[in-house]
Structure 1
């Protein structure tokens, strides 16, 4: 039986569909090889995510979304296996129903994952909004709404196979249009949420989480959400553009069916796995209020770029300072500065946030330590009497330049002490 040849309509219930279905009726020559190849890819994706989950769990790193991807790959393997069985028995309407149900049931898991990650980005970028009870209830409603849309779509599809009454078929079609449109909007909703969170001016400082930068996380969610939106919009448009079973359009054919469904979903699954979303979107267990996301940052030991610059400057200072009390003081001051810098940059947060804190810490510490260290305690009375004011000024400016901090207060203090030293030398000469 060819793909365009309709199934006899007088056999049932369940009755054969009177409208063209996505992918048409499968055939052994075309659909079976394609389904086998896709099954191999989904098996590989499931194995990768399951391996990541097991290794993370053995290390005490719990990340349940990895198991969600394993479940999604399992549903896709079942759907493709049922399509192979349907290809061998094209007149078996029950296999058609089972394949349709599993094909529609799997993709909603990816919708839920994208909504979850968009919520975490909202909490990180805008803690005053993302942690509100209203926001939590809104996302819980969205998760439940995805489930309701799936149940409506599956119920309407199954009922349409067991009736020939025009009014019931019309109602089933309305339900299917409502469900497919809602799912397409839900697939696109993470794009709106992430863009809104990125460009809305925040009222308080963001709270980074997981490994990597916020921009990489946002780009990953946006890319996967757009790919899923393309597939959901395709299925929704096909439901609106109905054709009879004996006269299908180009969008009903097998190439469009496999590309806009399984291929796009494979790209999404491997993108999450290869980009290590288990590290990027991980949050501490029990996080329920602002500040909880930052508790898990000690796991990711990413050193800030600014901290490395401070290390090099400290080495330069140690080489330039003479092996005297000044060098010991210089090292102790930079040691305290570096310890605070390392504590703030050890967390593995995004570059912009961690380095601002490092710069603030170094500036505050240097502002208080440089005048007392390099102008007061670094020289004893004998050194002061043997050096001229110009030499002391040159040494002090050199130390400040090596430190890399150009502070107006430090320069003012240097000039003030230079003036005092000049006056004291003139009085001694007299």
Structure 2
């Protein structure tokens, strides 16, 4: 065997000139595209990451606190999209039932989003001191954009609730199905992006990488379209479509709701627009473009995410966007005079809608 003296005083085996190059690394492989924010370094990534970790932890504590306050001030059924609005003295409104009620959707999405941001920041902090570990690189680059689907879903649901209260056609099934389709597209785009990005670390075939890149670009475009959908739907419903009669006397409150949804939509569109542009640009790892710099990462990712969380907390989105349950004039069977009383139209359970044996077969004697 032939050996040569390396520059660091180590003996390295000398390969023949006609030998094929040896692939020393095993999966996961290194990728040939630059990440948003680049490879973290102790300065400035460590202090910035710790600051955002503390801020998101405080936001999580405030989120849980506000949720508990809302549970004590509001009835449990006020959080549900389709739940009944029964008598206040019903046994289901006991303290035991309050503990058994599943968390409402908006606070759950908000808490899940904060937890994903904490996980992404913690992974990036560990990656800072182990820059050669590709497992940490893969986990950090996947967790960073993964949580953005939750505020996208929350904003779509808020837009749906706004249209249901404001527009004449709000309760139409087409609005509900459109919102569900947008949520499905957002979740599908997340799965597409995560799978394509993860596969790029485990293959070196050019065809596989090209197909994965196409899937990744399609996922980014879908998420950008969902981010733009909610504010466009609110603007179209607020200015281009007829409103309910009872809304005319309460338009300032609805204008505030529309501004909240559009504000979150603008922030999400700005952030997702940067991600989509970076994906289409496809710069190499040595690129020094401004949109790949650490300042762009912390301003367009962590700072916008923190602003969205604070927006949801300060504006009190959960009680402000409670679903209004329509009431209808129904005959009170227990009333001696048979007078009609205003009761919720959805107060009947599914058991009340099932025909009894007497109603089906009649009185057989």
**Structure 1 pair 54–193 and aligned structure 2 pair: CA distance change class (3 A):** same
The answer on 1:171 being equivalent to 2:237 is no
Superposed displacement of residue 292, structure 1: 5.7
Post-superposition Cα deviations, 1:242-297, rounded to whole Å, max 9, x if no partner, equal 1111234221111001111110111111112111212211125xx5xxx269xxxx
The answer on 1:107 being equivalent to 2:121 is no
Distance between the aligned counterparts of 2:251 and 2:75, measured in 1?
13
Distance between the aligned counterparts of 2:282 and 2:182, measured in 1?
29
More helix per residue = 1
Q: Aligned Cα RMSD in Å?
A: 2.2
Task: Show the counterpart of 1:96.
Answer: 137
SS in 2 for 1:90: coil
Preserved CA contact (<8 Å) 1:50 1:67: no
Alignment of 1:215-230 (within 5 A): 215-230=255-270
Superposed displacement of residue 158, structure 1: 0.2
Question: Pick from 155, 169, 173: which aligns with 1:133?
Answer: 173
TM (norm. structure 2) is 0.72
Preserved CA contact (<8 Å) 2:40 2:128: yes
Question: Pick from 157, 181, 186: which aligns with 1:116?
Answer: 157
Which consecutive residues of structure 1, in runs of 5 or more, have no partner in the other structure?
Answer: 1-8, 294-430
More strand per residue = 2
Task: Show the counterpart of 1:241.
Answer: 281
SS in 2 for 1:237: helix
Preserved CA contact (<8 Å) 1:126 1:206: no
Aligned residues: 279
Superposed displacement of residue 59, structure 1: 3.1
**Structure 1 pair 273–20 and aligned structure 2 pair: CA distance change class (3 A):** same
Post-superposition Cα deviations, 1:149-202, rounded to whole Å, max 9, x if no partner, equal 000000000000100111111111111110011101111111110110011241
Task: Show the counterpart of 1:87.
Answer: 128
Superposed displacement of residue 207, structure 1: 5.4
Question: Pick from 273, 297, 311: which aligns with 2:313?
Answer: 273
Preserved CA contact (<8 Å) 1:153 1:180: yes
Preserved CA contact (<8 Å) 1:108 1:146: yes
Task: Show the counterpart of 1:180.
Answer: 220
Alignment of 1:272-311 (within 5 A): 272-283=312-323, 287=325, 291=326
Which consecutive residues of structure 2, in runs of 5 or more, have no partner in the other structure?
Answer: 1-22, 80-103, 329-365
The answer on 1:54 being equivalent to 2:50 is no
Superposed displacement of residue 206, structure 1: 4.8
Question: Pick from 49, 67, 75: which aligns with 2:108?
Answer: 67
Question: Pick from 196, 201, 210: which aligns with 1:161?
Answer: 201
Question: Pick from 33, 57, 82: which aligns with 2:47?
Answer: 33
- Which structure has more relative contact order (CA 8 Å, sep 6+)? It is 2
Task: Show the counterpart of 1:251.
Answer: 291
**Structure 1 pair 201–29 and aligned structure 2 pair: CA distance change class (3 A):** closer
Q: Larger C-alpha radius of gyration, 1 or 2? A: 1
